[in-house]
């Protein structure tokens, strides 16, 4: 019996119940959406030295790092051809110059304590941007409560990457609430329903033969996965790369087509001694146009003798979000199965914690908190 079919061993290895948490994603997605539906966007929030006025945004910036930024990428891919204003996912301390009072800035931090996000959040306040936060608490939660800023609170006690549905689902709802894009709620519901159907087939009890996630994990085992997405699957490729890093503890990279046909493809001409260490995972959509279909075919042919393995994941479902989540869900669970197949702990995050701990000594999060507190109305 392959290790991944030994349910008892899997459950033992999964000390923190990550498999169960991921299998509950359909509910988490609906819950995240509900939390945003319940949010009341104020007309104005008073602060020392000038108010924030909530209205029609002329741009949207989603601020966050790592697992908390991933939902922003998904939102961009979900809405790029319908969003009437520029939208950007920002993973850094300082905000771009265009961010001002007409910008909707959504600060996403699962812990609420990430220094880059707190610095950017304090800058958004100073510029009187329309700030909304999504967090389980931390400093971000406290500041929002004190300043009476709109806050979507999500359940705590998870690792940020496990909380993606909670962190993502409020975003489409906010886009609707701010009058930017319609018809997204329905897609969130459809994606949750599709994941619900898929969950049974991806569970640990389902053997490798019938379990797409276990199969993918075994396909990628022993290689460095390079994930290729196109169109609205770009964000999915990026997220899966992160999950292979964070859960499976393997190096992993992503890129998009057609862009990789113009540079990265030459890298695969290198010595097989190197290229054979990688596998290529292509994310596919049945609705991809003829140009992309051809590009994938040609690219696969060029890579065929160079990489350890070529694997494809095909999207299912009708709406765009269903298609995105249908691939995402298989890949997310595959990243857990890959961790178990490798004998590593998907829950641990030693290196991320080490960097955060050392950086904390610079006191940037504290400075950002103090800057925000100076804006408290007297």
For the annotated catalytic residues, the residue numbers are 246, 262, 356
Position among 153, 246, 285, 322 found at the interface with ligand PA5 (CB under 6 A): 246
When the beta carbons of 166 and 268 are compared against ligand PA5, the nearer one is: 166
Say whether residue 160 binds ligand PA5 (CB under 6 A): yes
Q: What is the number of other CB atoms lying within 10 angstroms of the CB of residue 251? A: 13
Q: How far is the CB of 246 from ligand PA5 (least distance, A)?
A: 5
Task: For residue 70, count CB atoms less than 10 angstroms from its CB and return exposed for 0-12, middle for 13-18, buried for 19 or more.
Answer: buried
* Choices 64-72, 99-107, 186-194, 315-323; region in contact with ligand PA5 by CB under 6 A: 64-72
Position among 13, 29, 57, 68 found at the interface with ligand PA5 (CB under 6 A): 68
Cis peptide before 258 (omega within 30 of 0): yes
Chain position whose Cβ is nearest to ligand PA5: 66
Give me the torsion for CA of 217, 219, 223, 229, rounded to 10°: -80
* Choices 29-37, 88-96, 159-167, 251-259; region in contact with ligand PA5 by CB under 6 A: 159-167
When the beta carbons of 262 and 350 are compared against ligand PA5, the nearer one is: 350
What does the per-residue mask of binding to ligand PA5 show for 94-133, with x meaning CB under 6 A?
---------------xxx--x--x----------------
Give the residue among 266, 274, 293, 267 at the shortest CA–CA distance from 282. 293
- DSSP class of residue 132 equals E
- Interstrand relation of 253-257 and 278-284 (parallel, antiparallel or unpaired): unpaired
Position among 159, 214, 230, 306 found at the interface with ligand PA5 (CB under 6 A): 159
Q: Which of residues 349-378 bind ligand PA5 (CB under 6 A)?
A: 349, 352
Q: How far is the CB of 114 from ligand PA5 (least distance, A)?
A: 3
Say whether residue 288 binds ligand PA5 (CB under 6 A): no
| CA–CA dist 99, 91 (Å, integer) | 14
DSSP sequence for 133-195: EEESSHHHHHHHHHHT--EEE---SS-GGGGHHHHHTHHHHHHHHTTS--SHHHHHHHHHHHH
When the beta carbons of 141 and 160 are compared against ligand PA5, the nearer one is: 160
| CA–CA dist 33, 27 (Å, integer) | 10
Say whether residue 245 binds ligand PA5 (CB under 6 A): no
**Residues engaged in binding ligand PA5 (CB under 6 A):** 65-68, 109-111, 114, 117, 159-161, 246, 349, 352
């Amino acid at each position: 019996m392959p290790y991944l079919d030994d349910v008892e061993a899997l459950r033992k290895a999964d000390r923190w119940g990550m498999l169960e948490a991921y299998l509950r994603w359909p509910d988490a997605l609906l819950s995240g959406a509900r939390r945003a539906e319940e949010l009341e966007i104020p007309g104005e929030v008073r602060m020392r030295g000038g108010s924030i006025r909530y209205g029609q945004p002329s741009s949207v910036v989603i601020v966050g790092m790592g697992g908390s930024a991933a939902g922003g990428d998904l939102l961009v891919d979900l809405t790029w051809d319908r969003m009437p204003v520029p939208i950007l996912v920002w993973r850094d301390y300082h905000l771009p110059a265009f961010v001002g009072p007409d910008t909707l800035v959504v600060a996403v931090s699962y812990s609420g304590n990430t220094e880059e996000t707190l610095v950017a959040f304090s800058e958004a306040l100073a510029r009187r941007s329309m700030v909304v936060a999504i967090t389980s608490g931390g400093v971000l939660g406290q500041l929002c409560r004190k300043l009476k800023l709109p806050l979507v609170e999500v359940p705590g006690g998870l690792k940020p990457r496990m909380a993606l549905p909670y962190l993502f689902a409020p975003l489409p709802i906010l886009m609707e609430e701010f009058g930017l894009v319609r018809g997204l709620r329905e897609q969130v519901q459809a994606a949750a329903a599709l994941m619900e159907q898929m969950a049974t087939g991806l569970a640990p009890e389902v053997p490798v033969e019938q379990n797409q996630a276990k199969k993918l994990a075994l396909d990628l085992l022993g290689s460095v996965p390079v994930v290729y997405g196109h169109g609205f699957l770009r964000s999915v490729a990026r997220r899966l790369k992160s999950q292979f890093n964070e859960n499976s503890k393997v190096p992993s990279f992503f890129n998009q087509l057609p862009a990789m046909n113009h540079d990265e493809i030459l890298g695969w001409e290198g010595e097989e001694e190197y290229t054979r260490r990688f596998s290529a995972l292509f994310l596919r959509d049945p609705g991809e146009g003829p140009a992309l279909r051809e590009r994938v075919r040609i690219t696969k042919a060029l890579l065929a003798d160079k990489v350890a393995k070529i694997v494809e994941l095909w999207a299912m479902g009708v709406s765009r979000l269903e298609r995105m989540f249908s691939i995402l869900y298989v890949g997310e669970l595959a990243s857990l199965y890959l961790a178990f197949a490798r004998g590593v702990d998907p829950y641990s995050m030693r290196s991320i914690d080490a960097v955060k701990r050392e950086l904390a000594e610079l006191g940037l999060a504290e400075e950002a908190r103090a800057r925000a507190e100076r804006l408290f109305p007297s």
